Amino acid sequence: MNTITPTASLPELSFELREDRYSRQRLIVSWDQEKVAQARILVAGAGALGNEVLKNLALIGVGHILIIDFDRVEVSNLSRSVLFREDDVGQPKAVTAAKALQRLNPDICVTAIDGDLECDLGLGRIREFDLALGCLDSIHARWLLNRACRHAGRPWINAGISASVGEVCTYVPEFGPCYECGMTQQMWQQIHQRRSCMLLPRKLPSRTIPTTSVIASLTAALQVNEALKWIHGEQHLSAGEMLLLSLNPYTLSSFNTAAKLDCLAHEIYSPTISVDAMPTEISVAELLARVSDATALQLDFDVLESWLCPNCGEEPVGRRLSAELGKQLLCLQCKSERTPRLIHEINSSDWLAGQSLAAIGVPARAILRVLTSSGTQYVELTR
């Protein structure tokens, strides 16, 4: 039998290296596990694609992960979602995924928001993270995340899948195009249809997208790899460059979208005033009083100030427009169709000024636009 005697020049692997959870990653040239451990990543969506993304982030040791999703685990998720089990059916996806990740890697910190991007994620919360990953299944949700990240001044990486195609695209604030810049007329029609559905007696059925765990896994790998590049101060994709992966036939291609100079999503909300309060603790009038020469609070969403019935008159509401409120389009008394009065600006003389910010739909850690006689001020709720 031939034997090989190691030479003195070959270093011995230490016990620490053999036993370290991340030892194989540390062997990669230019890999910095400390940067990975310090990274903070927001993941929007915990479906098939989100499961694969979250699994990868946890395994490589990303230090802090925040998951947001309002959906519940369904039986159909089990064939495409590595973090869910049969006993999880009916449970919140975000919370269930967070618990699974914590079991997968106890070294990391995972938090969850069982809520909606539009109503439950303040811009201040987004600013706590280095990067956001979009694992969403609707144009409307991607549009919302794009605006939120752009306003918060944080980059985000979008990904989407179908039966045999995956796409990944990086968007960077203050540089290059955003998701909204590349939206087609058909995509805008879907946005308007989604928002108009809020004022219909019933919501339109959601569209089911056929897909498998295979395309979800491949697309998630590309998305997380691009996130790793960001963590290490690099990037493969330029801002606005979309990478397309196809399984039938096998192709990998990319193309660039152009930035629109007049895109309404490009405003960055840079807070100059901090208010140590939760939305439940401060009214609109009290907020305006804290800003010099404030004239109005300008919201990024519509508030249903009142319903106007042709027979019964006006009924005050004062809540953020939602699908649930839309179900009340018909008058409860005479069943006639009512006219909604929608507003997105509130001044100190409006009756809504006496309402708390939470009552009109402002989430915790929000950054708010306050109009003043000299321009716009941005106010951040720090709790």
pLDDT tens string 298-317: 999 999 999 999 999 999 99
Q: State residue 374 phi and psi, 5-degree precision.
A: -110, 5
Instruction: Check residue 5 and give its pLDDT.
Output: 36
**Token digits for 86?**
């049969």
The secondary structure of 47-114 as a DSSP string is SHHHHHHHHHHHHHT-SEEEEE---B--GGGGGT-TT--GGGTTSBHHHHHHHHHHHH-TTSEEEEE-
The span from the CA of 83 to the CA of 308, in Å, is: 48
The span from the CA of 198 to the CA of 148, in Å, is: 21
Burial of 333 (0-12, 13-18, 19+ CB in 10 A): exposed
Q: What are the structural domains, with CATH classification, of the chain?
A: 22-266 (3.40.50.720), 273-381 (no CATH)
Ranges under pLDDT 70 in the chain: 1-18, 195-207
The span from the CA of 42 to the CA of 304, in Å, is: 30
Give me the half-sphere count of Cα atoms (radius 13 Å) on the Cβ side of residue 323.
11
**Token digits for 50?**
């989100």
| pLDDT per position as a tens digit, 221-245 | 999 999 999 999 998 899 999 999 9
Instruction: Check residue 218 and give its pLDDT.
Output: 98
Instruction: Check residue 349 and give its pLDDT.
Output: 96
